[in-house]
């Protein structure tokens, strides 16, 4: 019943938006220093207003952009690859961006944030494209194999990054720089994440195209969509979003993986319909995680990355078990694209499962 | 090639490997050790010997654990390390410190701490993976994916606990809690050795069944193996072996994968006795060689595990994608 | 072997409902039926690969669960259809595993003799030192049967042995099953999809539908127009070739 309401109307979007606004307001007033509205309005306490404008508001905006960006990036990748388990985390995007950053640190240490950003963009795009083309070329049949390949691909790139970092003796610097956290966000050093906004809008414009490309090369040619151009465009958008978040906030895994999946469970697979919800839910999710990160060991903070990592990986494991159990019958897994995913039905079923017809490799 | 001939060939190869390891050991101990200055020589040896012993113990545990595990799962690209057994161990260790406090007497004695870790790891690890096997119906891809995610989950929880314990001294605490190549845990060498011997003795019957277990569940049951029971015991052994390896030299994720598969390629046999010895010897060769490169070529800046990760990752992808039927 | 009131459910779905039958000794018995009828599950339960929810399987005077696994392996052998062995194993080594229940990993001269016999029986001499992953599907299947022969059990259970084999190898395999019974006096139980193989090579047929036995009896009693049409929901014609009823369906 609830699912029907959610799917049919804008009800869910509305609820999510309201929740997000409410939580954003709450979040502004959580922090080391207690700030309440009367003092703020009275205008007498300059210090508090400063914290508010220089610290809290940038932080909130950065959080929102991160949540929106990472989840939309994940959604695009999943649509394009037609695989629920692909995301910046499991598609080598994050590690590639980090490699780019380290390379710029090692070879162009004098250049500042700008150069780092450009390197991160370029490498994220290259890494993601390489991964996707690679996976398509060898025609990985098993849905679950794709993320596994991606994680390993990411591990290798991470190994190279580590090697370079050790060589250049920047490991210490990197471990702080890469750990995803909003603690160091201040006015003046975070504005790059605003880049997420136009990119998300671009993604929204091309949403239907992504859907079509996800249906395969022949399918898109039939509908007159240039497969390669759209594929590269889509992957680049998500790579750039991811890279800009990494440059400013640091590494934050799993959002791109689990947020779109949770939303899809209720809303179905059509990207136009889910994009806004995904973006809102992503922002909400990161906001919640940030509040947890700030309140556990007050006045210190746990890095956001850890909170998201813990919650995210638990949800991901639940998702995997869910898929394993329900296979074909899963409410929305695969949705109306099911035909496309049927490649791997000869999976290694365990003997006693055979008669149950549990397709574990849908 | 017939049986006897193959057996001879494999024994020869094992002997050859053993000789190579011996040479590597000698080189490792003696290169740049300044034997002309006895004091310095002694000092250098006192540094290198524990590292060497730790590496040897770890290689034996990793080689054995990986091969046993692969046979249990009936698959050649899964390794206990890939499934996060290392991170679970590190996590449990940190959790114990977290609960009991850094100053607890328990952690002043390395052997006592190790015993506690082994106990918790044996119980928790076996339970987790047993459940995973049951729940996924031995579906390898799911086991692997869930395993990798578990490994990142435990990593995150561990880091978070360290942060909570001491928000300022994060990095220092992390280094002191987890062993790694430049920070081996020499105090537990004796304990670890005894542990491995006891394990081999206790599991001697189950180890004998490995050749049959490799044929898969149905065949093993058909041939009269009490399957579930044997698997549980073997899994327990694997978990403890991984605990020993992680406790001594820290996590080296891909080593097991490489040596187990190379061992299979070189010995082309199903006999676990040969495979395990071969894998352990190759591991030693790789680690001792790698450690020498790291010491003398990179002057300790780049730890061996970095090389192992890169090489192992590429090898893993190769197996995953181009060796159809490997999983 | 006596099976009484066997029940098996997966989740809320009961796939085997109160199945009872007696396996005729020294004969070939085929289990047939449409997909999901429960025949493979029954096979799994009588071979102890699948745990049953309820019921009794009396094997040689003792319930199957009461048997020691190793002891049972000397009396009953099962060959399932998925046998993807991951290791480098030669045909001879595979067949030698059939002796495992008797002497573990150390073969006695008698064991080696049994292995030789089994290999000869399946005409695998020329392949015996090849690795099984280098064999064709038909040869590999024969190697597994040789292992089962080396296991030297009174009962041989084969779960869809003709799956993925071409007509030549499948027919060959059915002949072997028949010979196991006629020449070596074994009781052979098969799960088959091919009705005609079942009709031609078996003595008895047990037809399943919706988790129950629809018909159990000698071939001539089960392979009738009415019974088969009822079970499979397609039209059947029965012809008599060489004294055996064979079916045509369309």
pLDDT digits (tens, 9 = 90+) for B90-129: 888 888 888 877 667 766 788 888 888 888 989 999 999 8
Contacts of B3 in chain C (CB under 8 A): 92-93
SS (H, E, C) C28-71: EEEEECCCCCCHHHHHHHHCCCCCCCEEEEEECCEEHHHCCHHH
Task: For domain B59-322, give the CATH number.
Answer: 1.10.3470.10
Domains in chain A, please, with CATH?
Answer: 2-322 (1.10.3470.10)
User: If we measure between CA atoms, which residue out of B210, B268, B319 comes closest to residue C130?
Assistant: B268
Q: Dig out the tokens for A33 from the structure.
A: 């220093």
Contacts of B174 in chain A (CB under 8 A): none
Question: How far, CA to CA in Å, does A197 sit from each of A61, A88, A149, C235?
Answer: 11, 18, 30, 65
pLDDT number for residue B191? 92
Using the Cβ of B293 and the Cβ atoms of chain A, whether some distance falls under 8 Å is answered with: no
Q: Dig out the tokens for A214 from the structure.
A: 């996800």
pLDDT number for residue B278? 94
Of C11, C41, C84, the CB nearest to A355: C41
pLDDT number for residue A353? 34
User: In which band, very low, low, confident or very high, does the pLDDT at A282 lie, cut at 50, 70 and 90?
Assistant: very high
C40 and A357 in contact by Cβ < 8 A? no
The DSSP secondary-structure symbol of A251 reads: B
Q: Which residues contact B119 (CB under 8 A, 6 or more apart)?
A: none
Q: Which residues contact A191 (CB under 8 A, 6 or more apart)?
A: none
pLDDT number for residue A332? 36
Q: Is the pLDDT of residue C244 over 80?
A: yes
pLDDT number for residue A331? 35
Q: Which residues contact B111 (CB under 8 A, 6 or more apart)?
A: B187, B188, B191
Contacts of A348 in chain C (CB under 8 A): 82, 84
pLDDT number for residue A356? 32
Task: Return phi, psi of residue B248, to 5°.
Answer: -85, -50
Q: Is the pLDDT of residue A270 over 70?
A: no
C87 and B224 in contact by Cβ < 8 A? no
Neighbours of chain C (3+ CB pairs under 8 A): A, B
Minimal Cα distance from B212: which residue of C?
Answer: C97
Residues B249-308: tens digit of each pLDDT: 888 878 898 899 889 888 888 888 899 999 999 999 999 988 888 888 877 777 788 888
User: In which band, very low, low, confident or very high, does the pLDDT at A33 lie, cut at 50, 70 and 90?
Assistant: low
B223 and C101 in contact by Cβ < 8 A? yes
User: If we measure between CA atoms, which residue out of A8, A7, A18 comes closest to residue A283?
Assistant: A18
User: In which band, very low, low, confident or very high, does the pLDDT at A344 lie, cut at 50, 70 and 90?
Assistant: very low
Per-residue pLDDT, averaged over C66-87, amounts to 81
Q: Is the pLDDT of residue B238 over 90?
A: yes
Q: Is C240 exposed, middle or buried (0-12, 13-18, 19+ CB in 10 A)?
A: exposed
Q: Is the pLDDT of residue B231 over 70?
A: yes
A114/chain B closest Cα distance in angstroms:
28
Question: Bigger pLDDT: B174 or A285?
Answer: A285
* Pair C69, B225: CB distance under 8 Å: yes
Question: How far, CA to CA in Å, does C184 sit from each of C138, C187, C228, C246?
Answer: 22, 9, 31, 26
Least confident of A120-129, B240-249, B307-316: B307-316
Helix B3-30 vs helix B255-267: angle between axes, to the nearest 10 degrees? 140
User: If we measure between CA atoms, which residue out of A214, A84, A209, A234 comes closest to residue A136?
Assistant: A214
Q: Which of A121-130, C3-12, C88-97 has the highest mean pLDDT?
A: A121-130
Express as a percent the part of chain A with pLDDT over 90: 22
Q: Is the pLDDT of residue C222 over 50?
A: yes
User: In which band, very low, low, confident or very high, does the pLDDT at B324 lie, cut at 50, 70 and 90?
Assistant: low
Q: Dig out the tokens for A301 from the structure.
A: 């903070």
- Residues 126 to 185 of B: which have CB under 8 A from any C CB? none
- Pick among A94, A135, A155, A303 to test the B interface (most B CBs inside 10 A): A155
Using the Cβ of C44 and the Cβ atoms of chain A, whether some distance falls under 8 Å is answered with: yes
- Pick among B86, B135, B144, B156 to test the A interface (most A CBs inside 10 A): B156
Cα(A167)–Cα(A156) distance, integer angstroms: 17
Question: Bigger pLDDT: C62 or B1?
Answer: C62
pLDDT number for residue A334? 35
Cα C82 off chain centre by: 13
User: In which band, very low, low, confident or very high, does the pLDDT at B200 lie, cut at 50, 70 and 90?
Assistant: very high
- Domain definitions of chain B by residue range: 59-322
What is the interface size between A and B, counted as CB pairs within 8 Å? 121
Question: How far, CA to CA in Å, does B27 sit from each of A111, B98, B288, C102?
Answer: 44, 41, 9, 49
Cα(A46)–Cα(C180) distance, integer angstroms: 96
Minimal Cα distance from B140: which residue of A?
Answer: A348
If you write DSSP's letter for every residue of B203-242 in order, what string do you get?
A: THHHHHTHHHHTT-HHHHHHTT--HHHHHHHHHHHHHHHH
Q: Which of A28-32, B74-78, C219-223 has the highest mean pLDDT?
A: C219-223
Residues C22-47: tens digit of each pLDDT: 999 999 999 999 988 889 899 999 98
Cα(A272)–Cα(C241) distance, integer angstroms: 64
Adjacency order of strands within the sheet including C62-63:
C13-22, C2-10, C54-59, C62-63
User: In which band, very low, low, confident or very high, does the pLDDT at A338 lie, cut at 50, 70 and 90?
Assistant: very low
Tell the residue number behind the tokens 């005409």, with chain if given: C123
Contacts of C156 in chain B (CB under 8 A): none
pLDDT number for residue B239? 92
Residues C161-218: tens digit of each pLDDT: 888 788 988 998 899 999 999 998 999 999 998 899 999 999 999 999 999 999 999 9
């Amino acid at each position: 019943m609830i699912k029907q309401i959610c799917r049919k109307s804008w009800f869910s979007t509305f609820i999510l938006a309201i929740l997000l606004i409410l939580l954003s307001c709450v979040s502004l007033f959580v922090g080391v220093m207690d700030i309440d509205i009367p003092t703020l309005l009275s205008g007498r306490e300059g210090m508090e207003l400063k914290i508010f404008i220089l610290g809290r508001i940038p932080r909130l905006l950065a959080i929102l952009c991160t949540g929106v960006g990472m989840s939309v990036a994940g959604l695009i990748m999943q649509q394009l690859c037609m695989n629920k388990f692909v995301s910046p985390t499991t598609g080598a995007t994050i590690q590639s961006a980090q490699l780019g950053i380290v390379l710029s640190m090692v070879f162009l240490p004098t250049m500042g944030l700008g150069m780092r950003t450009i390197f991160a963009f370029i490498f994220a795009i290259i890494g993601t494209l390489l991964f996707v083309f690679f996976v398509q070329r060898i025609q990985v049949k098993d849905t679950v194999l794709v993320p596994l390949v991606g994680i390993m691909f990411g591990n290798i790139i991470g190994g190279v990054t580590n090697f370079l970092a050790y060589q250049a003796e920047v490991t210490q610097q990197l471990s702080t720089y890469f750990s995803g956290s909003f603690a160091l966000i201040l006015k003046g050093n975070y504005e790059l994440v605003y880049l997420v906004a136009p990119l998300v809008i671009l993604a929204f414009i091309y949403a239907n195209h992504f859907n079509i490309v996800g249906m395969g090369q022949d399918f898109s040619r039939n509908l007159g969509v240039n497969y390669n151009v759209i594929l590269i465009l889509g992957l680049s958008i998500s790579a750039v979003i991811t890279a800009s978040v990494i440059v400013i906030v640091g590494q934050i895994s799993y959002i791109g993986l689990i947020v779109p999946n949770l939303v899809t469970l209720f809303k179905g697979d059509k990207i136009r319909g889910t994009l806004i919800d995904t973006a809102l839910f992503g922002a909400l999710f990161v906001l919640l995680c940030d509040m947890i990160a700030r309140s556990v060991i007050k006045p210190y903070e746990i890095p956001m990355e850890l909170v998201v990592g813990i919650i995210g990986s638990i949800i991901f494991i639940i998702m995997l078990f869910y898929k394993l159990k329900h296979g074909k019958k899963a409410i929305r897994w695969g949705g109306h694209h099911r035909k496309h995913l049927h490649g791997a039905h000869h999976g290694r079923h365990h003997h006693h499962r055979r008669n149950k017809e549990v397709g574990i490799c849908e | 090639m017939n049986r006897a001939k193959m057996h001879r060939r494999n024994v020869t190869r094992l002997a050859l490997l053993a000789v190579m390891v011996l040479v590597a050991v000698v080189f490792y101990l003696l290169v740049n050790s300044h034997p002309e200055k006895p004091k310095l020589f002694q000092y250098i040896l006192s540094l290198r010997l524990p590292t060497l012993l730790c590496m040897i113990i770890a290689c034996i545990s990793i080689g054995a654990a990986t091969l046993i595990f692969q046979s249990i799962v009936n698959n050649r690209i899964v390794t206990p390390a890939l499934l996060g057994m290392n991170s679970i161990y590190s996590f449990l260790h940190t959790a114990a410190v977290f609960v009991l406090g850094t100053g607890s007497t328990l952690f002043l004695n390395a052997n006592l701490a190790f015993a506690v870790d082994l106990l918790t790891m044996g119980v928790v690890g076996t339970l987790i993976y047993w459940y995973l096997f049951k729940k996924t119906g031995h579906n390898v891809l799911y086991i692997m994916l869930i395993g990798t995610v578990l490994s990142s989950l435990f990593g995150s929880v561990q880091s978070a606990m360290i942060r909570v314990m001491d928000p300022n001294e994060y990095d220092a605490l992390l280094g002191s809690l987890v062993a790694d190549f430049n920070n081996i845990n020499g105090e537990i060498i004796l304990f670890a050795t005894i542990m491995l011997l006891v394990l081999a003795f206790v599991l001697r019957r189950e180890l004998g069944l490995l050749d049959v277990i490799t044929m898969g569940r149905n065949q093993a049951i058909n041939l009269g193996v009490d399957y579930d029971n044997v698997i549980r015991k073997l899994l327990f052994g694997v978990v403890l072996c991984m605990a020993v390896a992680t406790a001594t030299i820290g996590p080296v994720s891909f080593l097991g994968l490489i040596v187990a598969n190379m061992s299979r390629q070189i010995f082309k046999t199903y006999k676990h006795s040969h495979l395990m010895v071969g894998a352990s010897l190759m591991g030693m060769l790789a680690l001792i060689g790698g450690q020498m490169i790291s010491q003398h070529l990179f002057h300790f800046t780049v730890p061996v595990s970095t090389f192992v990760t890169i090489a192992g990752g590429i090898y893993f992808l190769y197996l995953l994608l181009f060796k159809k039927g490997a999983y | 072997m006596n099976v009484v009131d066997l029940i098996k459910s997966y989740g809320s779905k009961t796939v085997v409902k109160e199945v009872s039958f007696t396996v005729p000794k020294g004969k070939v018995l085929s289990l047939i039926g449409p997909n999901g009828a429960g025949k493979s599950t029954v096979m799994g339960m009588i071979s102890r690969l699948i745990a049953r929810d309820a019921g009794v399987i009396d094997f040689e005077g003792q319930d199957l669960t009461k048997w020691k696994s190793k002891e049972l392996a000397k009396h009953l052998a099962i060959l399932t259809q998925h046998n993807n062995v991951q290791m480098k194993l030669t045909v001879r080594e595979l067949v030698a595993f059939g002796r495992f229940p008797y002497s573990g990993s150390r073969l006695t001269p008698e064991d080696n003799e049994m292995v030789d016999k089994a290999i000869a029986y399946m005409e695998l001499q020329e392949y015996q030192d090849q690795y099984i992953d280098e064999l064709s599907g038909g040869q590999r299947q024969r190697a597994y049967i040789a292992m089962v022969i080396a296991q030297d059990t009174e009962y041989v259970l084969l779960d869809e042995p003709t799956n993925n084999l071409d007509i030549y190898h499948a027919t060959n395999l059915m002949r072997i099953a028949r010979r196991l019974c006629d020449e070596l006096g074994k009781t052979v139980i098969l799960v088959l999809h091919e009705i005609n193989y079942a009709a031609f090579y078996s003595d008895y047929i047990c037809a399943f539908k919706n988790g129950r036995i629809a018909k159990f009896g000698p071939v001539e009693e089960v392979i009738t127009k009415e019974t088969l049409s009822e079970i499979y929901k397609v039209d059947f014609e029965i012809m008599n070739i060489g004294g055996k009823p064979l079916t045509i369906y369309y």
